[in-house]
Chains A and B, each alone.
Chain A
Amino acid sequence: MTTAPRKKTLNRIGLYVLWIGLTVFTVLPIYWMFVVSSRSRVQLFDAPTLLIKSFYIENYTTPLSSPAFQRYLTNSIIVATSNALLVTVLALLATYALSRWRLKGSDNIFFWTITNRMAPAAAFLLPLFLLYTRVFRIGDTSLFDTKIGLILVYCVFNLPFAIWLLQGIIDGIPKELDEAAYMDGATRSTVLWRIIVPLAAPGLAITFILSWIFAWNEYLFAATLTSVNARTITTGLAEFVTVTGTNWGQMAAVAIVTILPALIFLVFIQRYIVTGLTFGAVKE
């Protein structure tokens, strides 16, 4: 009679061992980066212990006080925020249109928007680079090395994602609600702002935050489509690895700065992230 409860306890212990192990495996690489960011060049070549005895703050203050890095950081904030705003508003309009109007070919349009996300970035690097430097230009001004250029480019992957995410949410708002408002004489913009937006608010917030994180994290397009003025923090991070040697402590510090905003957002959205990740697959 005692075997069943004992087996249950063993299972439970096994479960905790597994999850504590996984937690360590998940956190350790990031923690190690933090440790590296706390050490001077000399200290780094001591034995790699995990303890932080003293904190070499210069790793943080040196890059953060350099004008180049401040510019990278500002650019990243402007680009990510504008892109997330643009994407959320456009996706709201688009999904509302797709959900409430029977437009000719709207299913095809929906699918086409999604295919934009499937395309490998590598295949779009060169054509976008050529379009930005040579085609989209008036006189001396082109989209190359501009924040607007990056904001537009990030729509390729963020807009389909946002439409994907919002579609289920907007479809889930009963049509009777907007019909009733129309009966009462409301205009379309009133319906959109007074009924749809408040009801979809959590979904819109998730869309904004995830788009923001994706735009903030992007590297490849930023590295190819900018040179001086519009560089972002991720390209700044990559610039640390040079032929003449790398300042690992500073690189780790900048990486920590890069991770920080996403981490703060994570605290807010972790409850919703599971629902967001289903992409409507479990709804049917």
Chain B
Amino acid sequence: MRSNRMGWRMLTPTLVILFIVGLLPFLYVLWVGFYDWNVFSAVRGMTWAGVNNYRRLVFDQDFLNSLGRTFQFTFIVVSVELVLGFLLAQTLVTPFRGRSFFRTIYVLPLVVAPIAVGATWRLLVIPGFGPVPYYLDRFFDYPFRIGTSATHAWLTLIVMDIWHWTPFVTLTLLAGLTALPKEPLEQALVDGANRWQVFRYLTIPMMMPVILTVVFIRFMDALRIVDEAFMLTNGGPGLSTRFVGLHIYRTVFPKTDYGYGSAMSLLVLYFTIVACWLLFIALTQVGKQRE
């Protein structure tokens, strides 16, 4: 009655589209990465270059720095957001008057376009009329200069990312906490365990699958940061906040160095996959040990 052919027919459009915009670019970049191809050079077509593009990449300090910077940023924001998000989810799990009001407001940053998030925070810290430098100057005599201090640019980016994404972590963990069975927790309290012990030995292990999921999703997404940094600092001051996505955008497109850019793109993809894979293994190991 229900032939497999029908099932395949329903899947086909999805597979075709994902092939065209997902898999094909990957195969294409793999191919172009072995060629010299620069529209502005004397030879306009593609010439075979072997692994030259990759050899060049390994010694490209700007590229390697941008990669390191991206990972550093990711580790910082994801750990802060996980801890903060868990604490906030804990306060939201028991009902109190006004809870749904707070929750709705708190979700707000999630729906704001990343480029608008960057714009918003730029307006807060811009020298001249931004309230942050204005009040820091006025009350603490502290010069906050996002355009000249790498530390200030980093701090703003981190606070911005926390503002933007902690709600996501909180809500996901809240959904997990709400779904936890209540009996073991209550039983442990009756048996004389204190709240910390219940949290440490029951809540956290039971929450592990949700924690792993949220860390994984946030990790993947944080590595992709471009829009916010583009709008907020434009990679500056100097190259101090130029994340790898912005780096590719900034170096490849004006120079039309397509072969080299392809090698860069592929390496970024490779590093992301390896990092996600390592994180996944590490997290599932932790999950297993807890059990």
Contact = CB atoms under 8 A, between A and B. Distances in A.
Interface of A is mostly: helix
A139 interface: no
Contact of A237 (B7, B8, B119, B124): B119
B17 A155 contact: yes
Contacts of B246: 122
A218 B91 CA distance: 33
Interface string B236-277: 000000001110110011000010011011101100110010
Interface in A39-97: 44-48, 90-91, 93-94, 96-97
B103 A238 contact: no
A53 to B, nearest CB: 15
A278 B172 contact: yes
Given A270-B104, A274-B175, A278-B172, A155 B18 contact: yes
B226 interface: yes
Interface string B161-186: 00100011001101110110000000
B290 to A, nearest CB: 16
Given A45-B128, A121-B245, A126-B29, A282 B107 contact: no
A279 interface: yes
A156 to B, nearest CB: 5
A126 B30 CA distance: 12
Given A30-B112, A123-B265, A266-B108, A252 B123 contact: yes
B116 A255 contact: yes
Contacts of A104: 4
Interface residues of B, number: 94
Interface string A111-152: 011001111111111111111000100000000000000001
A181 to B, nearest CB: 11
Interface in B103-141: 103-116, 119-121, 123-124, 126, 128-131, 134-135
Contacts of A219: 113-115, 226-227, 230
B58 interface: no
B28 interface: yes
B245 A26 contact: no
Q: Which of A94, A135, A282 has the most CB of B within 10 A?
A: A282
B10 interface: yes
A278 B176 contact: yes
B88 interface: yes
B231 A94 contact: no
A220 interface: yes
Contact of A274 (B14, B135, B174): B174
A200 interface: no
B96 interface: yes
7 contacts: A48-B135, A90-B17, A100-B2, A126-B29, A126-B248, A274-B175, A277-B175
Interface of A: 12, 15-16, 18-19, 22-23, 25-27, 29-30, 32-33, 36, 44-48, 90-91, 93-94, 96-98, 100-104, 109, 112-113, 116-131, 135, 152-153, 155-156, 159-160, 163, 182, 188, 213, 216-220, 224, 234, 237-238, 241, 248, 251-252, 255, 258-259, 262-263, 265-267, 270, 273-275, 277-279, 281-282, 284
Interface of B: 1-2, 4, 6-8, 10-11, 13-15, 17-18, 20-22, 24-26, 28-29, 32, 88, 91, 96, 98, 102-116, 119-121, 123-124, 126, 128-131, 134-135, 163, 167-168, 171-172, 174-176, 178-179, 209-210, 213-214, 217, 220, 223-224, 226-227, 230-231, 234, 244-246, 248-249, 252-253, 258, 261-262, 264-266, 268-269, 272-273, 276
